[in-house]
Amino acid sequence: MRFDDYRIAPEIKRNLQELGFKRPTDIQFKSIPPILKGEDVLAIAQTGTGKTAAFAIPILNLLHARKTSNRAAGIRCIAMAPTRELALQITEVFQTIGRHTRVQTFCVFGGVEQEPQIARLEQGIDILVSTPGRMFDLVSQGFIKLDKIEILVLDEADHMLDLGFIKDIRDLIKFLPRQRQTLFFSATINESIKKLAYSLVHKPVRIQISPKDPVSKNIRHAVAFIQMDDKRFFLERLIGELPESKMLIFVRTKVRAERVAKAMERVGIVTRTIHGGKEQRDRLDVLRQFREGQIKVLIATDVSARGIDIPNVDYVVNYDLPDVPENYVHRVGRTGRGVQKGDAVSFCSPEEKEALDSIEQYMGKSIAVLEIASDTYAETLRLTEDVADKWKDVMNEIEAAEKWRKRK
C-alpha cells in the first residue's frame, strides 16, 4: 500500500511525496487506519521505524478536516514528550507534514523565557507539543486551556508513565474532556507501565511490531571488557581509528560526561556534551552541529536517548552501561535507523557485569564479545596521548626492568 492510497488530505499527500515517503512503515501501516477511525491506540515498535509520523499523519488529517476558520476555537491536540529535544523534534514532524494545511503546531518547554511562548499561544494553535513541566506551569497560569482537547498523545509512553510522570499525567487528564482519543507510542513498555496505560484508555487497539526483538536488526552489537579507569584510553583509540565516523557516546551522569570530554580534549579530540545541566540553547546548538556533521563525537547522558532522530550516526558507544535495560534499546536506537546499518559498542567494567546480564536477558540474546588480547590492552594504555597518564610508560619500563633483573 502506498500513501497515495490513503484517504487523507491532498496537502498531506503532497508533503509526504516531497519528503520521499512513498510507502508506510509497518508501524505506520498498522497505526494510521485506527487513528483515522478515532480509536485509542497503544503502539510499541523499535526506534527508527517512523513512530512519530505514524501518529502525526492521521492527526493532521483529522484536524485539517475538522478545522474552522476560527483559530481561537482552542487547542485540539496535545502531544507530550519526556524531553525538550524530543518535543521539538515531534513539532518539526508535525509542521513539515502539515505544511499547506490549516493546522498550526507549536511547542512549549522549560529552560527558556515563557513570554514568547505565551504570545504565540494567544494567537491560536491547534496542536500543542510539550514537556510536562512547562505545560503545567502555563495551565496553572491560565495561558493553556485544555477543555477542547480531542486527542492526547504520549510519546515515549513508558517514560511518561513511570513514577516521575504518572502523577502529572493523572492531573492532566482531570483537565481533559472525557470524550477524547488517546494514543500511546513507545519503543519499550513493561507490564506495570502497561497496566497504567490501559487504565487511561478506552478499548485501545494494541499494536506491537517485532516484540521478540526490541532492537533493530540493522545494528551490530559488541561488548568489550575494560577496567573502569581504562575506558577513556580505549575511547581515545576507537575515535582515533575511526576519525570520519559520527559517534554518540553515552555516559551515566552529567559530571561524567564533562570528565570524559576533558579527557578527550587532553588528547586533542574535539567533542561536545549534552545533558540536563546544559542551557536549552546550548543543547539545541550542540544537536544542530552534530546533525550537520560539524562535530563528529557527542558525549551524552540518557536525556538524548529518548526518540531523538539524529541522521547517519555510525557508532553508539555505551561508555557506561545503563542501569535500566530498556535504556540500552533507546540508546542504540540512535544508529541503524531506517535502512541504514549501525554499530553499538559497549565498554563493560567488572562492576557492570550484572547490568550487562540484565541487558542480554531483556533482549533475549547474547552480545558478541570483543576479545582484547593482553598485549593489545597494554599497548592501548601505553600509546595514549594523555600527558597526565604518561606515568604508565614509566611503570611499564620499571616492570620490564624488574623482570629482566630477576631473569639474570
Q: Is the pLDDT of residue 38 over 70?
A: yes
d(CA 19, CA 282) in angstroms, rounded, equals 28
d(CA 138, CA 150) in angstroms, rounded, equals 19
Please answer whether residues 51 and 73 qualify as being in contact, where contact means their C-beta atoms are separated by less than 8 angstroms: no
d(CA 229, CA 380) in angstroms, rounded, equals 13
Task: Check whether residue 77 and residue 134 sit in a common domain.
Answer: yes
Cell of 55: 501518529
* Cα distance between the two ends of the chain: 79
User: What is the rounded average pLDDT of the residues 131-146?
Assistant: 89
Computed over every residue of the chain, the mean pLDDT equals: 86
Q: What does the DSSP 8-state code read for residue 141? A: T
Helix axes 84-97, 10-18, angle to 10 degrees: 110
Task: Check whether residue 198 and residue 285 sit in a common domain.
Answer: no
User: What is the rounded average pLDDT of the residues 106-123?
Assistant: 91
Spatial CA neighbour of 160 closest among 198, 192, 132, 181 = 132
Cell of 394: 614509566
Q: In the chain, pLDDT over 90 holds for what percent of residues?
A: 50
Full residue range of the structural domain in which residue 60 is found = 3-208
pLDDT band at 101 (very low <50, low <70, confident <90, very high): very high
Better pLDDT: 311 or 297: 297
Kindly provide the residue ranges of all beta strands, DSSP E only, lying in 120-243, ordered along the sequence.
127-130, 151-155, 181-186, 205-208, 219-225
Q: How many domains does the chain have?
A: 2
Q: What is the pLDDT of residue 69?
A: 47
Asked if the structure places residue 317 within a domain, the reply is yes
d(CA 282, CA 278) in angstroms, rounded, equals 6
Task: Check whether residue 160 and residue 301 sit in a common domain.
Answer: no
- pLDDT tens digits for range 81-100: 888 888 988 999 999 999 99
CATH number of the domain enclosing 276: 3.40.50.300
Q: What is the pLDDT of residue 82?
A: 83
Task: Check whether residue 192 and residue 232 sit in a common domain.
Answer: no
Better pLDDT: 118 or 404: 118
- pLDDT tens digits for range 224-274: 999 999 999 999 999 999 999 999 999 999 999 999 999 999 999 999 999
Which of 188, 208, 228 marks a domain boundary? 208
User: What is the rounded average pLDDT of the residues 324-346?
Assistant: 85
Task: Check whether residue 47 and residue 185 sit in a common domain.
Answer: yes
Q: Is the pLDDT of residue 57 over 90?
A: yes
Distances (CA, A) of 253 to 85, 100, 275, 381: 18, 43, 8, 24
pTM: 0.68
Phi, psi of 382 (to 5 degrees): -75, -35
pLDDT band at 340 (very low <50, low <70, confident <90, very high): confident
Q: What is the pLDDT of residue 64?
A: 93
Give me Rg for the CA atoms of the chain.
Answer: 24
Greatest Cα pair distance, the chain, in angstroms, is 95
Helix residue ranges per DSSP H, 202-337: 231-241, 254-266, 280-291, 325-332
- pLDDT tens digits for range 61-85: 999 998 754 545 789 999 998 888 8
d(CA 288, CA 169) in angstroms, rounded, equals 30
Task: Check whether residue 382 and residue 353 sit in a common domain.
Answer: yes
Task: Check whether residue 316 and residue 285 sit in a common domain.
Answer: yes
Question: Which amino acid belongs to residue 280?
Answer: Q
Asked if the structure places residue 187 within a domain, the reply is yes
Task: Check whether residue 204 and residue 273 sit in a common domain.
Answer: no
The residues, any chain, with a CB within 8 Å of residue 167's CB and separated by 6 or more, are none
- pLDDT tens digits for range 278-294: 887 888 889 889 988 99
Q: What is the pLDDT of residue 323?
A: 87
pLDDT band at 337 (very low <50, low <70, confident <90, very high): confident
